[in-house]
Amino acid sequence: MKQQDFLVCRCEEVTYNELMETASRTGCTARELKLRTRAGMGYCGGRTCRPLVQQITQKLEKAPHTRVTLKYQPPVRPISFGDLGGGEE
């Protein structure tokens, strides 16, 4: 697997390459990148991918004064995988 092919957002299956291409092509902010690719909009609410999405846009950003950090929104109530899967009772 190449570096560009690894999944950054597992929930929405967004790859590093997809994020880099979108950010380079559009010159968007972290929030715009999130909306364009859906990275950080999955079940976990961006807990795993949010920092990397922000780093990508900061690296390519032309005007740092326009930087807007991504909002982190955890689930309303954490739930275990056992409860999700309806395990045996």
CATH assignment of the domain containing 22: 1.10.10.1100
Residue 50 covered by a domain:
yes
What pTM was computed for the model? 0.66
Model confidence band, residue 64 (pLDDT cutoffs 50, 70, 90): low
Q: Which two tokens stand for residue 70?
A: 């991504």
pLDDT at residue 42 is higher than 90: no
pLDDT for the residue 62 = 60
- Please give the pLDDT value at position 56: 85
CB 49 within 8 A of CB 37: no
Whether residue 40 has pLDDT greater than 80: yes
Strand locations in the chain (E): 7-9, 14-15
Asked if residues 9 and 42 have their Cβ atoms less than 8 Å apart, the reply is yes
Q: Is residue 26 part of a domain?
A: yes
Helix, strand, or coil here: 15? strand
Question: How many distinct structural domains can be found in the chain?
Answer: 1
